[in-house]
Structure 1
């Protein structure tokens, strides 16, 4: 019997170009939704963490990529947890109204990548991952919901002995190591 433990978490960054400053009346509905949506995320199964800057300001107040760009940067247990929050919760109502508040971006504006469990990615790393996606397209290092990749897998171990097994990345074709054949001298 093989044990496989998820030793990675899914990081996600998305950026949006505001049509107006956050204090503009045109964005009042969006601003009013921020706290409830953040609370919904934090209460969602699989939520791990969300970005706040060194002064305690949440991601929307931080402007690491320019004054007109807001960010959402978070960490989730897995892809399904993030998907369910994004498309199967009250967050979907916010997505449906995004054209009221944000300008359409020609370049990729959302990126995901796997990080080892227990490590919190930096906002600089998030920007690098978005740049990587924009430059090279989806890869295991930078991807989207449309072109997602599984987490890197640690070598599986046998439950009985705790010894590593030889496995492909997808886990197919598991082959236990063969003992060396005795030499006849």
Structure 2
């Protein structure tokens, strides 16, 4: 049996300011999200994607349960995890897609980047499943240990394993 590999990415965006619909990041992000999801669903190089909100206490919520968000609670991490055919297809969608590039450029200066990198990659056998917490753990590994074969970045790519 041959093992095929998929590229998995996990990223977090934590907006500056309060997490409510008066925050420009939140308002714009929530408005473009359905279009990004639609683009993702029809993109051939993307196998699956999932999204969630991680509150400061570590609890996870689906995007549909983002609001109402408790007043006075620090902004959550808005997270995405997806399985890709290749690094090239990830780049094509992220930097050349219809909705994602323009929307993310518009919001880039409204993100809290104080925790360090917010994007991690790894190769996984096709069919292996992950939770959002698994992705969070990979991101923490990259933040603490730098790039490894199990958690790397676009700046420090690891080649796709050879199918065995």
**TM superposition score normalised by structure 2:** 0.77
Hey, what does 1:172 align to over in structure 2?
none
Report the Cα distance in structure 2 between the residues aligned to 1:30 and 1:98, rounded to whole angstroms.
Answer: 8
Structure 2: where are the runs of 5+ without partners? 53-60
1:98 and 2:95 correspond? no
Q: Which runs of 4+ in 1 moved over 4 A?
A: none
**TM superposition score normalised by structure 1:** 0.69
Q: Alpha-carbon deviations, 1:122-175, whole Å to 9, x = none?
A: 2221112111111111111111111111122234xxxxxxxxxxxxxxxxxxxx
1:151 and 2:150 correspond? no
Aligned length: 148
Distance 1:85 1:59, change over 3 A: farther
Hey, what does 1:162 align to over in structure 2?
none
Hey, what does 1:82 align to over in structure 2?
90
Q: Alpha-carbon deviations, 1:35-86, whole Å to 9, x = none?
A: 1011111211211111256xx93499499xx852111111111111111000
Distance 1:93 1:120, change over 3 A: same
Report the Cα distance in structure 1 between the residues aligned to 2:112 and 2:10, rounded to whole angstroms.
Answer: 17
Hey, what does 2:9 align to over in structure 1?
12
Hey, what does 1:119 align to over in structure 2?
128
Secondary structure of the 1:15 match is strand
Shift of 1:25: 4.9
Secondary structure of the 2:14 match is strand
Report the Cα distance in structure 2 between the residues aligned to 1:51 and 1:60, rounded to whole angstroms.
Answer: 14
Hey, what does 2:49 align to over in structure 1?
50
Contact 2:15/2:75 (<8 A) preserved: no
Secondary structure of the 2:128 match is coil
Which has more radius of gyration?
1
Which structure carries more relative contact order (alpha carbon 8 Å, separation 6+)? 2
Shift of 1:120: 1.9
Distance 1:25 1:110, change over 3 A: closer
